[in-house]
Structure 1
Amino acid sequence: MADVSVIILTHNEEKHIARCLQSLHPFTDKVFIVDSFSTDRTVEIARSLGATVVQNPWVNYAIQFNYGIDNTPFKTAWLMRMDADEYVLPELAEEINQRLVTLSEDISGIYVKRRVLFFDKWIRHGSYYPIWLLRLWRRQQGICEETWMDEHIKLSQGKSIQFQHDLVDHNLNDLTWWTQKHNNYAIREVIDLLNIKYNFDKTQRVEPKLFGSQEQRIRYLKIQYASLPLFTRPFLYFFYRYFVRLGFLDGQKGLIWHFLQGLWYRFLVDAKMFEVYFHAGRDKQAIIQFFRTHYGKDLSPNNRP
């Protein structure tokens, strides 16, 4: 097996966790799960499949994941990040086994492709595949950046390469769950967009760069997106995804996906941003106080998200 251990965050993932863990077994038996006090059978299932599980109160994704990095009991050369509703394809498992031991010391990170399945449909278009994510990195050479949204692993040194094969994001929950999750995401997205303008905290983030890695390009494009007018940018983004990047080729299920994820969700974010401006105006301190009062989130400078 490869000299790699996997960190997974969970909360009520009994639908997904066995599938995820079973996909990891061909290349590692070292899985560390940080659970935020699930009330279903997540912990029981995970332990029955050999995972080491601890429970830690949830603050946000970045803090919880960095807790996992700091407290994993496995001293492997490599760490890997997985979400509970993802699984590794057999081809990627074999690639990890074969290639990891051959890498030179100056390689610190590995990007893999993520494919998204929605209603069992592989979303291939609309700039949604391939999505390159840095998911494997050398121990003590990567942390999860502490942003409010779209957290990435940030390398402290070394170069990165790409592996050829995929992992799969296939959530089995229903649309009610999906829309509720994205409603919760929306306020974090608002904070992240406002942070581009107001610089609430001093956290070091992935460097925005149009022709850099995928997360650098996404960060660059997000900064450009933040400068566009409210309620105009969701429609522009959907038009780009669905027509320019051929999202319509994903069929009926793709229409649902691109509309909800590319238009409805982005419009909801703008509506929530409008709400912030309506109640707090555009003064930085008033906005900080609004989030502290209404959402219990402290955006003050130098505070962790």
Structure 2
Amino acid sequence: MKKKKLPVENTKLPWEHPKPKTEDPQALKLVEKIMQSPTYRLAEEDTDFLKSYETRGNRLELDYLKPELHMARAGIEHTIVVFGSARIRERKTAMANLEAVQKKLKADPDNEKLMQELYVAERMLEKSIYYDDARMFGRYVSRSGKGPGDSRVVIMTGGGPGIMEAANRGAHDVGAKSVGLNIHLPHEQFPNPYITPELCFQFHYFAIRKLHFFLRAKALVVYPGGFGTLDELFEILTLVQTHKTPPIPVVIVGKSYWNKLINFDFLVEEGTIAPEDLEIFHFADNAAEAWKHILDWHETYNTPLVAKGEKTGMEREK
């Protein structure tokens, strides 16, 4: 026996149409005014409400949650975080910039401003070796373990140019995933082109971005840089020193640069840090030394990043 189809209800419910004009000529205008009020918008569609002071806690949570969910879905277990100057460029770019300044100075040899630009351009050309080195470091990390398709340990950077670009580029060179954590700034900026698209995030809050830098970090590698690099370096040094986070290997690449920039021994001599605080970080001169130290550190603490039988990126690069 076939079931009878229920009749389709074509009659609109009372609330599906406004109050008729026949009952009140002003009703439609009044309803339109109500529906145009910001309070009538759905909360999730009300950008003014979502950007209000009172909803900052919700925005902080969303700033954290979106990258967390995407990284979890991508199988990102551990990250090797790389910091360094956004101003350090690859050699050919640094050389072109130097030649441009030299050309200007040739036409105006007494220009003191151009002389200073020349000095900076020469220094940046020297530091371009760190771009190449950070790129190689990205390759080492990305080719370790099961190889480029293994997302257990990936490169993570701040998503910008310079050293950050180089590390992401190294991963991109070998077809591996890498993460970029950009930050929304008042001036326009672009992510570097070598980040895995579905793992490139933009944050509003520096604090939440910092949280994600260290949440999965199994090492922090710091190349020469400025304020931003120093900020991230001393953040992790303070967290480890105060036992607010478990220790991880912190590798500072470019000992000559860092020794000129910061006199760590002076801090010990003055008693402002303890001698053992100098053991929180390790100096390295290149990518191979940095990655070897990280691998050895984790072997020592029985938290190996490369399982037995698997290869390190350095072995695969040979």
TM-score interval (norm. to shorter): under 0.3
Bigger Rg, structure 1 or 2: 2
TM-score normalised to structure 2 length? 0.27
Q: Which has the larger helix fraction?
A: 2
Q: Which has the larger strand fraction?
A: 1
